[in-house]
Amino acid sequence: TDLKVNYELKFQDGNSHHVRVIGNNSEYVFYVYPGNPTVSISPIKDTITSMRKLSKEEQEQLIPDSD
């Protein structure tokens, strides 16, 4: 089952990524990239500058066409 993207993470290096956040605590965020089953773990402090929850409309726009 594909997990829908639900957050935009912005990193201190200037990159931002749309990901599926599957959990977080006070120190780490756990997430997966679309189409990749590997769980990524990033420390929040000194790595992530913002975590923005995507609206339903934004999430639907990011769903790839199934052609």
- Which burial class, exposed, middle or buried, applies to 19 when counting CB atoms under 10 A from its CB (0-12, 13-18, 19+)? buried
Is the pLDDT score of 66 beyond 50? no
Distance CA 48, CA 26 (A): 12
What average pLDDT score do residues 2-15 get?
Answer: 92
Q: What pLDDT does residue 1 have?
A: 52
Selected residue with higher pLDDT from 65 and 4: 4
Q: In the chain, which ranges are continuous DSSP H helix?
A: 56-61
User: Domain ranges in the chain?
Assistant: 7-54
Q: Which carries the bigger pLDDT value, residue 37 or residue 24?
A: 24
Q: Give the model's pLDDT for residue 2.
A: 66
Q: Rounded mean pLDDT of 33-45? A: 94
